[in-house]
Amino acid sequence: MAKTNIYLNFQGNAEEAFNVYKSVFQTEFSAPMMRMGDMPQQEGMPQLSEKEQKMIMHVALPILGGTQIMGTDMLESMGHKLTIGNNTTISLEPDTKEEADRIYHVLSEGGSDCVAPHDEFWGYWGVCLDKFGIRWMFNVPNQQG
């Protein structure tokens, strides 16, 4: 079933922040934290330092009313710089790749900073900053089976 999450970016302190949020909302992480070092090496990707390998690639925590907050650490070595405006994203999980493509096509029109949805090791993923300055992420996770 399709759902919407709030995605938060951090500059190296995602784990600390999510441990605080976990105590505030008195819930457990949806799955174990994924670290940058867990990510398969991608072609053209710089080698991560030992410190960066320990940073958070993905974490998810249920909060209120069925909503989840998710997060990641941004890596300066990959050209990421945290600023107000790129620290929060609305993360959509459509039921199908086709629905992700449809929504992406409309929201990315006139937008910027776009990466069209495509296959990644965890699923079908893309992102864009719409013409109103709102960042949207599209993620159709691989089916577990």
Residue 44, domain member (yes or no) = no
pTM of the model: 0.71
Find the mean pLDDT for residues 115-122.
Answer: 94
Provide the percentage of residues in the chain whose pLDDT is more than 70. 97
Find, among 51, 59, 53, the residue nearest to 40 by Cα. 53
Q: Answer whether residue 103 is part of any domain.
A: yes
What is the tens place of the pLDDT at every residue in 11-54?
Answer: 888 999 999 899 988 999 999 999 999 988 778 777 888 998 99
Residue 145 has pLDDT above 80, yes or no: no
The pLDDT value recorded for residue 144 is: 53
Half-sphere exposure of 125 (CA within 13 A, CB side): 7
- Residue 42 within any structural domain of the chain: no
Handedness of CA 89, 90, 91, 97 (dihedral sign): negative
DSSP assignment, residue 38? Answer: G
How many domains, in total, are found in the chain? 1
Tell me if 77 is assigned to some domain: yes
Of 7, 39, 29, the closest CA to residue 138 belongs to 7
Please tell me which of 42-56, 64-78, 79-93, 109-123 the model is most confident about, judged by mean pLDDT: 109-123
Q: Which of 145, 97, 100, 108 is nearest to 130 (CA)?
A: 108
- What CATH number does residue 53 fall under? 3.10.180.10
Please check whether residue 118 is in contact with residue 127, taking contact to mean a CB–CB distance below 8 angstroms: no
Domain limits at 25?
Answer: 3-37+49-141
For the residues 75-98, what does the mean pLDDT come to? 81
Q: Answer for the pair 138, 94: CB distance below 8 angstroms, yes or no.
A: yes
Is 56 a domain residue?
A: yes
Res 10: pLDDT? 87
The pLDDT score that the predictor gives to residue 131 is 85
In a domain, 102, yes or no: yes
CA angle at residue 46 from 124 to 143, to 5 degrees? Answer: 20
